[in-house]
């Protein structure tokens, strides 16, 4: 198999379609619009299945502060902001000013803009500079930067904090031993780092493209 050739469905496509139609919020105009834009522009939002996982984890952990590394036009931000309620704060980061502008529009429409703080520039640098110690750290930046994200949060988070990281299965590329793409190596390196760090208890949930959920225990 040539380098980087493996791409596979993580979930049977019929099951995936079934789960997606169960997860879609059929009367939520803002989410529906954001999901339609994701499809139209081929922009990799986490989508409704992962959105619901973020919602459940946020509610379960009673999080009041979320720091996102890689927020795009605010789709995952909206799931967190809604789940936390008016007391919550979610930190939005994205390299793209256009994404930030769109996020402001959508989050205003959804009535949660007061719960969002925007940061410009590189997400990992913004996290380091912010001094924020979030209850949930969510990572969805360029995959080669995942190890740098880990280095930034590993000692900063308090016990009880959750780390949620998207794309841990990377369309199946993680099992292609010949794949030397920086993105694939970044995902695999992150996986090794978080699993080796005994302060975190981690599970990789094979929803959509794989989501790692890690609880910091000490
Ligand atoms: C997969 S998308 C995020 C999708 C978003 N989490 C959602 O579900 O709606 C990744 C985003 O991260 C941004 N990005 C990638 N690397 C970044 C970095 N180092 N710092 C800030 N933003 C970054 C990209 O501009 C892109 O919008």
- pLDDT tens profile 182-206: 999 999 999 999 999 999 999 999 9
Q: Whose CA is nearest to atom 7 of ligand 1?
A: 45
The alpha carbon of 123 and the centre of ligand 1 are apart by a number of angstroms equal to: 8
Going from the C-alpha of 88 to that of each of 15, 20, 64, 117, 136, the distances in angstroms are: 34, 27, 4, 11, 11
Domain parsing of the chain, residue ranges: 13-216
Instruction: Count CB atoms within 10 A of the CB of residue 46.
Output: 24
d(CA 28, CA 114) in angstroms, rounded, equals: 19
pLDDT tens string 7-64? 888 899 999 999 999 999 999 999 999 999 999 999 999 999 999 999 999 999 999 9
Q: Whose CA is nearest to atom 15 of ligand 1?
A: 141
d(CA 42, CA 58) in angstroms, rounded, equals: 27
The alpha carbon of 4 and the centre of ligand 1 are apart by a number of angstroms equal to: 22
Flag the least confident range among 2-6, 74-78, 158-162. Answer: 2-6
Going from the C-alpha of 169 to that of each of 9, 144, 209, the distances in angstroms are: 10, 14, 5
Domain 13-216 has CATH 3.40.50.150: yes
d(CA 18, CA 21) in angstroms, rounded, equals: 5
* pLDDT value at 2 more than 60: no
pLDDT of res. 134: 98
Single pTM value for the model: 0.96
């Amino acid at each position: 198999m040539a380098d980087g050739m493996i791409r596979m469905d993580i979930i049977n496509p019929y099951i995936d379609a079934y789960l997606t139609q169960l997860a879609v919020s059929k009367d939520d105009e803002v989410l529906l619009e954001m999901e339609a834009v994701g499809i139209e522009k081929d922009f990799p939002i986490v989508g409704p299945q992962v959105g619901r996982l973020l919602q459940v984890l946020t509610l379960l952990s009673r999080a009041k502060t979320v720091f996102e590394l890689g927020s795009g036009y605010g789709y995952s931000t909206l799931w967190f902001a809604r789940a936390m309620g008016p007391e919550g704060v979610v930190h939005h980061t994205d390299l793209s000013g256009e994404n930030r502008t769109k996020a402001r529009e959508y989050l205003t429409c959804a009535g949660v803009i007061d719960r969002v703080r925007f940061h410009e520039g590189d997400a990992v640098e913004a996290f380091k500079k912010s001094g924020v110690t979030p209850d949930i750290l969510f990572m969805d930046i360029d995959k080669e930067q995942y190890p740098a994200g880990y280095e930034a949060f590993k000692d900063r988070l308090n016990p009880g904090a959750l780390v949620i990281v998207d794309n841990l299965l990377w369309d199946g590329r993680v099992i292609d031993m010949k794949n030397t793409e920086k993105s694939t190596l970044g995902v695999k390196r992150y996986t090794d780092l978080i699993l080796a760090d005994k302060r975190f208890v981690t599970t990789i949930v094979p929803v959509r493209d794989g989501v790692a959920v890690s609880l910091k225990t000490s």
